[in-house]
Structure 1
Amino acid sequence: MTIFKTTEVSNPDFESNNLRFITVKSSNLKGRGDICVFVPPNKDLKDAPIITLLHGVYGSAWIWAHKAGVHFTALQMMQEEKIKPMVLAMPSDGLWGDGSAYLPHSDKDFETWITTDVNQAVIENIACTSKTSPLCIAGLSMGGYGALRLGAKYPEIYKGLSGHSSITTKSQMHLFVEEDESSYNQENLSDEDVFLLLQKNKLRLPPFRFDCGKDDILIEQNRRLHQLLKEEHIPHTYQEFEGKHEWSYWQEHIKDTLLFFDSLLD
């Protein structure tokens, strides 16, 4: 039984590079939402893991594939047997302003769109997935904030979390967007901060990692999050690499995320 009023799925005759596109009408978005999906070409694949990749500000469902070539990276890693076959679900954030921050606001629930609708849309339309498919979530910049925040808030949904060059609290959105920061306000202030949510649910968290480039605009915020987690004795992996807040960095270090998730799926 579908939860969507309407669903459109791309025709396999016109697809390329194992990418599929899904558009569903979501009650949480009060309109349509797009998902780009990498489907491994493996035969007889069942219950495949679903890895949700969240984009940053200004982006949409196509950007992980067509600015970072993540589908080529994943396929090569699968062919080299570095990772097991996995489906990559790359949704839009709801396309509000420069970025929704994956928070509920403006009379739309961008949070539940990601944690519920995206998973359901993939399971309904991608034959190699099912309700028993393991779920992981990752993202870059605003998407890293979304991945870490949603994974911390709903630890029962995901088996692993990963963030690249992540915003760590709502107050950093002003560095990237023109919309007023108050648009993102949450009734519960702890819902706006990655650390506070990780702290709140620290006994239930799935394994998580995050990284940042040494010349990234958000490096000090990521170092601060790492320090707070150490002080709170919350297990995690934090890494720094050469690089800035740019696609060449994310194209390279998404590999770390895929390897990390693969290690959790044994």
Structure 2
Amino acid sequence: MSKFRTVEISDPRFEANNLRHITIKSKNLKHRGDISVFVPPGEDHKNLPIVLLLHGVYGSHWIWSQKTGIHLKMKSWIENKQVSPMILVMPSDGLWGDGSGYLPHNHSDFEQWIAEDVIDATIELIPQASKTSLLFITGLSMGGFGALRIGTKYGYKFSGVSGLSSITRLNEMKKFIEEDLSLLKQDIIENESVFETIMKHKKHLPKFRFDCGTSDSLLEGNRKLHHQLEEQGISHIYREYPGGHEWPYWEEHIKDTIHFFDDIINPKNR
């Protein structure tokens, strides 16, 4: 029996480039939510690792695939044995305003949409996924905020976490959205900070990394997070690369994240 009141999934006859598309009625969103899924070719795949890719402001479920070609890159990397087969799950953020922040607010729980509904839908609808699949989460900008915060908050679920050009404090959303920031304010204050979330759950953290471009307006916040974690002795990886807050940076450096996850899946490969 399905966990969702309504489910729609694309017909394989009309799918292209190993992308599947799902729409479910989410009890956490209280409306429908969309998910795009890259499934590696091969009928024998079972229990494949699941990677959640979260988008930034202004985007939706389609944007990772159609702005970076990540599904085409993954197919090539897998075929060339550069990485292990993985399922890429690309959900919308819930489509609130310019960006939901992947937080609970305004009568919808955009955090649980990701941490619960999207995972459940993948396991239920994608035969190559299962309850024993390893889970990973990553994202860019607002999606990096969501990935780092949700991934470390629910460290018992996730084997690895990564953020690209991440918002690190809710206050940084002001750079991007037209909605009043007070609409996203949280009753649980650590929800507004990646660092505070990590500190609250520091006894059960998964492996995590984050990176940022040296011309990015969010660089200062990423450096501050790195230094705070160093001061607290929290194990992590932080990298800086040339580039700004832009799609060419994310298209290039998502591979660093995928390799990081692959090293967790197969620690002796590299």
**Aligned counterpart, 2:43:** 43
Look up the SS of the partner of 1:203 in the other structure. Answer: helix
**Aligned counterpart, 2:251:** 251
**Aligned counterpart, 2:263:** 263
Look up the SS of the partner of 1:149 in the other structure. Answer: helix
Deviations 1:75-114 (A, max 9, x none): 1111111111000000000000000000000000000000
1:207 has 2:203 as partner: no
Look up the SS of the partner of 1:251 in the other structure. Answer: helix
Look up the SS of the partner of 2:204 in the other structure. Answer: coil
Deviation for aligned residue 1:203 = 1.9
Letter in 1 for 2:132: T
Cα distance in 1 for partners of 2:73, 2:199 equals 33
Deviation for aligned residue 1:200 = 1.5
**Aligned counterpart, 1:217:** 217
Cα distance in 2 for partners of 1:163, 1:212 equals 9
Cα distance in 1 for partners of 2:164, 2:180 equals 24
**Aligned counterpart, 2:111:** 111
**Aligned counterpart, 1:12:** 12
Cα distance in 1 for partners of 2:180, 2:102 equals 16
Cα distance in 2 for partners of 1:30, 1:199 equals 31
Aligned residues: 266
Cα distance in 2 for partners of 1:154, 1:182 equals 25
**Aligned counterpart, 1:152:** 152
Cα distance in 2 for partners of 1:204, 1:120 equals 22
Cα distance in 1 for partners of 2:131, 2:82 equals 25
Cα distance in 2 for partners of 1:200, 1:126 equals 33
Stretch of structure 1 that moved more, 92-101 or 192-201: 192-201
Cα distance in 1 for partners of 2:215, 2:143 equals 19
Deviation for aligned residue 1:43 = 2.6
Deviation for aligned residue 1:34 = 0.2
Letter in 2 for 1:168: T
**Aligned counterpart, 1:95:** 95
Letter in 1 for 2:211: D
Cα distance in 1 for partners of 2:119, 2:229 equals 29
Cα distance in 2 for partners of 1:127, 1:154 equals 24
**Aligned counterpart, 1:230:** 230
**Aligned counterpart, 1:60:** 60
State the identity %: 56
Provide the TM-score with structure 1 as the length reference: 0.99
Letter in 2 for 1:83: V
Deviation for aligned residue 1:44 = 0.3
Letter in 1 for 2:43: K
**Aligned counterpart, 1:176:** 176
Cα distance in 2 for partners of 1:230, 1:156 equals 23
Provide the TM-score with structure 2 as the length reference: 0.97
Structure 1 unmatched ranges of 5 or more = none
**Aligned counterpart, 2:81:** 81
Whether contact under 8 Å (1:42, 1:85) holds in the other structure is no
Deviations 1:177-225 (A, max 9, x none): 0011111111111121000111121121000000000000100110000
**Aligned counterpart, 1:166:** 166
CA RMSD of aligned residues (A): 0.6
Cα distance in 1 for partners of 2:24, 2:115 equals 15
Look up the SS of the partner of 2:167 in the other structure. Answer: coil
Cα distance in 1 for partners of 2:82, 2:42 equals 15
Deviation for aligned residue 1:169 = 0.8
Letter in 2 for 1:250: W
Deviations 1:227-251 (A, max 9, x none): 0000000000000000000000000
Deviations 1:24-52 (A, max 9, x none): 00011111000000000023000001100
Structure 2 unmatched ranges of 5 or more = none
